[in-house]
Structure 1
């Protein structure tokens, strides 16, 4: 990364331009976090993190902001109603693709709100948050809330940790060199250029998210709210697809769905990718304290209120991981407290612009992709050369 890609006020803020998946958090690379003075074996950072939590609570930054989320929900419902009205009034017109794109954005914003409900950021009661999140995810977006909860909880517990974080598991894209080296044929060809293909591939991510989440509801293990979610998803798609294919000619209807899903996939992927991709990976056998684990593997995106609105608060990824239940409006103030603490403790605090974060992600994925086997290379000849 370029020198100016982090905020200069946090001293050790040099993040690698491209973080290789083999760049591990060894004792030498995070020694500043584990020891504050030479020879001191008790990590002061773990003890003093309690002071940060106390400051956060003291300023009321974990208190609910019902007014904000009420206004946000009302705004999204108005936007959805406007899109539906526009859809009805336009009729058989290729301008409907603008409505499709708008729906892709609106559904993504509802997904952000469902994500916040899953973290107990919205309402005071855990059950109320779950009911809201399930309705938003399954009833409006068309995805399984229980699948998201399971996957995302595992991610928050061990971000960027090999074998623990599902977000770095292979899924068309390889996030580790080991995964890239295992790809063959067409997948190997894609993997070798996966950085450049990342955003084009995201146009299909909407289908992938819907398919994987709905598939999870048919698993044999016990799933909370299985039939409620299946019912809501079925009703949602029946109304959504029924209206589109009834109101529009077949070709236009197919294009409408394709545009909506493409915008949804790109928007979702482009909002979540800057958070951890290209940051250090934690080997399975390395243990870090909670604070170090969350800060060293997360990246913030500069931009203030507009970035927060655009990304659903995900631009404050470090603070979100440290205080997952913190409402979105309080994350900006929490950033000031956490940054000051990082500066005091010499803890790297990664923060960059949105465009720079995309550059990092693309270069990182391309570097990982170089470890994919050349699909046109002969395995036997390769083995002979390695000897």
Structure 2
């Protein structure tokens, strides 16, 4: 496809499924729009992913493509793969042609494989962002066709890798925790002056974290620590009588949309170690205790390794997190201001706040605009 250098930049962004893919995609789109207000931007996802709500809510156009899983074992799905992939690549080519795309940006996930193949066929430049320490299959394929590859972590092994950090919402990337703390605690219904533990297992919640905190609420309150427990949608924590668990200095909610308020309000965060969370706590300089999800190929532990190794965070294996661990290890940490301050400054040293802008620069370079 030939580019018309007098026309506005046209960018197609592909990726979706989880918030881990959609959030950086939207941050990159916003940074491109910030740099080039006239840019035409279209996002590509599947009908089953979070992008169906998040992309339109952010003000960007979304087009859908069939979800093509890549089976790793012999199966009927594997036999059908070539036929399905041909159809998906045809759809992908139509999307790129209709958009008159100057650049395809991929952030990983099922949707990216046919989009990368279509872009290669049509000679549309490709830009890739890999969010995890272990690169996904689709992005490894796409990296064969481009030198524009940004990674969130220095340890990521993928062709042509350039460390750019994790693209994140502007409100998080620009957060000043000290300045925002009092107002954030007020918005979250917390006391402005107490040491504050915030617990989150992500949008889906984490049963292990929920149960451990539920067993430690009395000890936390007795230590003078207030706890905001974000349980996850549909995962509220009940007491023995079936009512919502209640205790002094303890508040539970199922979900908080404004994570910048959470990061500003917390003295310490107890959380999973998804790539987005690890990158965001580093960027804002928030001390954290990571409890990696014990499934998959250990990527959550790898995501946290750099910060843990530097002393900016602690890691506790999922099987070891219980009320006793919170009482013996986490409570003393939450009350140790000098140690928290040191963890905060170390995290900030490792954090990258301008990843979305770095990716936007890559997109403009690839698109020749």
Give the TM-score normalised by the residue count of structure 2: 0.24
More helix by share: 1
Give the TM-score normalised by the residue count of structure 1: 0.23
1 or 2 for the larger relative contact order (CA 8 Å, sep ≥6)?
Answer: 1
